[in-house]
Structure 1
Amino acid sequence: MCVSKRNWAYKLSNSIKEDHGQPIWCVAFNLIDGTNEDVFASCGAGRATVYQCLPGGKFEILQAYVDADENEEFYACKWSVNPETGAPLLLLAGKRGLLKALDCSTEELSACCEGHGDAINDISVHPTKPTLVLTASRDSALRLWNIKNNVCIMIIHGDGGHLNEVLTIDFHPFHGEQFLSAGMDNTVKIWSLTGMQEHIDSSFDHDASKGKVFHTRQLACPTFSSHKVHFNYVDCVRWIGDLIVSKSVNNRIFIWKPDTKDDLVGTKGLVHLLHEMELEDAHVWFVRFAMDRQCRTLACGTRSGHVFVWDPADLKSKPHAKLKRDAGSKTTVRQTAVSADGSTIISCCDDASIWRWDVQNQ
């Protein structure tokens, strides 16, 4: 494989500590909206903050949100967009099991979806229909929502579903007809929405004000399921094209391909392991990696506060870069965020701190 030479010289350019003092569980760049690619959000405790990355490594706080319920704690944030107005939407979910959408133009709550029986651990947004949103929950189920009208389209749970908390989900980046899920039962599953399009489309026209109840369907059987990749909690799973990248607590990130050639329903769960990336000191769960838009920069944090960076296409086990924080800053990195072009990496930590690294100009 021919891989072009890249600049892996990242420099620590800034850090900030949020005043709530609680772990920040998630950070996410706005990769869905080309006009706001320098904007990222963080969430922790019952708060979310929207930042802009300025030149010279600086941060600017654009907005801050504090939930009205003092018992709320946000575990996941993702970006969407209102297709009618073009307004950026910040999606938040966590301890209370509610999916909320904040319109960053009006600074108002535009959606609140309720249905999960426990906390929500992760969010994924459909690649072409941004009001379709998946959530993964501690109640061992996934739900597909339409945040246009707070409709629960589908509950993904049943005989073939997860047997414990679902920690991580990801829509296929090209067509959105497939999505991944993984969690505390050590399994990675592939689900398909094929044949469900008419039902999904009907959610866009549903009007609850007319007294009608939307019929939520159940999806119980995945097209593929395997526990052969990991032998512990799987806390992060993402697509790279049709390949899968997943992480557990064994200081490894794997790139692999499901074997479904002779097993159309995926009952054997056979996999082809293609590559592994070596982490250090990352044997705790709920530590999640992130990638840029082209999947050429993958960043994952460690328990000691460092961030390791790879190019997944380069097939190197050792990281291309190890990003270090200031001496004495060793709290766990829970999540990273990578800018659209891979030039900026953000990490968030258990001590309420956020750190920024930028590629140095050569």
Structure 2
Amino acid sequence: MASHAEQMQKHFQANNRTRDIQIHTAKVHSVAWSADGRRLASGSFDKTVAIYVVERERLNKEHIFRGHGDSVDQLCWHPSNPDLLATASGDKTVRIWDARSSKAAAVINTKGENINICWSPDGSTIAVGNKDDLVTFLDVRSARSRAEEQYKFEVNEISWNNEGDLFFLTSGNGSIHIFSYPDLKLQHVLNAHPANCICIEFDPTGHYFATGSADALVSLWDLHDLVCVRTFARLDWPIRTLSFSHDGKMIASASEDLVIDIAEVETGEKIHEIPCDTPTFTVAWHPKRHLLAYACDDRSDRDRDRDSGVVRVFGFPNDS
């Protein structure tokens, strides 16, 4: 009987078509799927947010949201409402968008240039981090700040665990800081990597979380015991982005390497790699299907205008 890795290798051999769509005019910083998987969103250096729908194995534009005064660096969907999207920008605002509308449902002023954002699992709170390592917790209903925490170290990415009772930060010194929530009391500091710990992602099944580092390693952690159970070491450049598949069995990681690595979580075995022309800085698995959305850096050659601002989705059937 074929192993899961062998089954998925065959699956991607038969389903390896990539669909491209170009809506943005500059580099895409972030892609994310809505909770129901019907919509894909992207945020760009061109200050816009784009919403797409997947129909008949194709990407189609639904909305372009304008209003941010600076680059849209990161975005995230509401964990259960597939219509609500939050965006973080260098313009010192967080915006909440309703995908059924043409304008922002809320604009929240913040103290600094925002670079990362996440939504609490219960949907009540948005956490946003800025370039000055200040993390602000925003009440979604009132669209106001609920609390803020200033950190004395470089904060890279922020996330709640799946239950919402712990809050995680990755740091510039390679450590993972874990706080109880909502009281934000420090519970653990994990010395995860010898270099900058850049990104963090939680497995949908609740068993693991993974971090990516400037040491070019992805480390997989047991969420209950807080021990590193495995590392993935096929890429050569700092790991910029991670995503678990909806079933928790695969993890995609990307960097300035010209491939996206897809690995089996339980063994570390390579399942597939997606070739890229330029570095990749954002990847996101679909919440119900084995479709991977991603966006690469703009080309620096004469084809730059043609390839600027492209969003890609890998995993469509070859015969569609």
Kindly indicate whether residue 304 of structure 2 is the aligned counterpart of residue 353 of structure 1.
no
- Output one character per residue of 1:73-93: Cα deviation in whole Å (capped at 9) or x when no partner: 111011117x8xx67112111
Residues 67 and 279 of structure 1: is their aligned pair in 2 closer, same or farther, counting only changes over 3 Å? Answer: farther
Q: Aligned to 2:186, what secondary structure does the other structure show?
A: coil
1:331 to 278, 285, 290: 278
Instruction: Give yes or no for contact 1:80–1:131 (8 Å, CA) kept in 2.
Output: no
Partners of 1:345 and 1:23 in 2: CA distance: 18
Instruction: Give yes or no for contact 1:162–1:183 (8 Å, CA) kept in 2.
Output: no
One-letter code aligned to 1:182: T
One-letter code aligned to 2:180: S
User: C-alpha displacement at 1:257, in angstroms?
Assistant: 4.2
User: C-alpha displacement at 1:178, in angstroms?
Assistant: 0.8
Kindly indicate whether residue 197 of structure 2 is the aligned counterpart of residue 234 of structure 1.
yes
Q: Aligned to 2:8, what secondary structure does the other structure show?
A: coil
User: C-alpha displacement at 1:255, in angstroms?
Assistant: 0.9
One-letter code aligned to 1:29: W
Judging by fraction of residues, say which structure has more strand. 2
Kindly indicate whether residue 267 of structure 2 is the aligned counterpart of residue 277 of structure 1.
no
Which residue is equivalent to 2:38? Answer: 38
Partners of 2:16 and 2:99 in 1: CA distance: 30
User: C-alpha displacement at 1:17, in angstroms?
Assistant: 3.0
Partners of 2:62 and 2:127 in 1: CA distance: 26
Which residues of 2 match residues 159-198 of structure 1 at below 5 A? Answer: 161-164=151-154, 166-173=155-162, 175-193=163-181, 196=183
Which residue is equivalent to 1:320? Answer: 271
User: C-alpha displacement at 1:162, in angstroms?
Assistant: 4.4
Kindly indicate whether residue 90 of structure 2 is the aligned counterpart of residue 133 of structure 1.
no
Instruction: Give yes or no for contact 1:331–1:349 (8 Å, CA) kept in 2.
Output: yes
Residues 333 and 115 of structure 1: is their aligned pair in 2 closer, same or farther, counting only changes over 3 Å? Answer: same
Which residue is equivalent to 2:301? Answer: none
Residues 87 and 361 of structure 1: is their aligned pair in 2 closer, same or farther, counting only changes over 3 Å? Answer: closer
- Output one character per residue of 1:179-229: Cα deviation in whole Å (capped at 9) or x when no partner: 2111323321111125x5xxxxxxxxxxxxxxxxxxxxxx4x421113x21
One-letter code aligned to 2:138: W
- Output one character per residue of 1:37-92: Cα deviation in whole Å (capped at 9) or x when no partner: 13110111201100112223x210000012252xx1111011117x8xx6711211
Q: Aligned to 1:289, what secondary structure does the other structure show?
A: strand
Residues 223 and 126 of structure 1: is their aligned pair in 2 closer, same or farther, counting only changes over 3 Å? Answer: same
Residues 18 and 242 of structure 1: is their aligned pair in 2 closer, same or farther, counting only changes over 3 Å? Answer: same
Kindly indicate whether residue 95 of structure 2 is the aligned counterpart of residue 100 of structure 1.
yes
Instruction: Give yes or no for contact 1:290–1:300 (8 Å, CA) kept in 2.
Output: yes
Partners of 2:138 and 2:267 in 1: CA distance: 36
Partners of 1:25 and 1:38 in 2: CA distance: 21
Instruction: Give yes or no for contact 1:169–1:238 (8 Å, CA) kept in 2.
Output: no
5+ residue gaps, structure 1, are: 197-218, 261-270
Instruction: Give yes or no for contact 1:138–1:167 (8 Å, CA) kept in 2.
Output: no
Which residue is equivalent to 1:78? Answer: 76
One-letter code aligned to 2:107: C
Rg bigger for which structure? Answer: 1
Runs of 4+ in 1 over 6 A off after TM superposition: none
Instruction: Give yes or no for contact 1:113–1:147 (8 Å, CA) kept in 2.
Output: no
Partners of 1:190 and 1:3 in 2: CA distance: 35
Instruction: Give yes or no for contact 1:297–1:342 (8 Å, CA) kept in 2.
Output: no
Q: Aligned to 1:7, what secondary structure does the other structure show?
A: helix
Which residue is equivalent to 2:147? Answer: 154
Partners of 2:212 and 2:257 in 1: CA distance: 17
Partners of 1:243 and 1:295 in 2: CA distance: 9
User: C-alpha displacement at 1:360, in angstroms?
Assistant: 4.2
Partners of 1:106 and 1:279 in 2: CA distance: 43
Which residue is equivalent to 2:209? Answer: 244
Partners of 1:179 and 1:231 in 2: CA distance: 22
**What TM-score results when the alignment is normalised by the length of structure 2?**
0.84
Which residue is equivalent to 2:187? Answer: 223
Kindly indicate whether residue 32 of structure 2 is the aligned counterpart of residue 28 of structure 1.
yes
Which residue is equivalent to 2:59? Answer: 59
Q: Aligned to 2:270, what secondary structure does the other structure show?
A: coil
Partners of 2:257 and 2:166 in 1: CA distance: 35
Q: Aligned to 1:303, what secondary structure does the other structure show?
A: coil
Q: Aligned to 2:173, what secondary structure does the other structure show?
A: coil
Partners of 1:259 and 1:15 in 2: CA distance: 39
5+ residue gaps, structure 2, are: 299-308
Partners of 2:23 and 2:73 in 1: CA distance: 16
Equivalent pairs: percent with the same residue?
A: 12
Residues 155 and 105 of structure 1: is their aligned pair in 2 closer, same or farther, counting only changes over 3 Å? Answer: same
User: C-alpha displacement at 1:290, in angstroms?
Assistant: 1.5
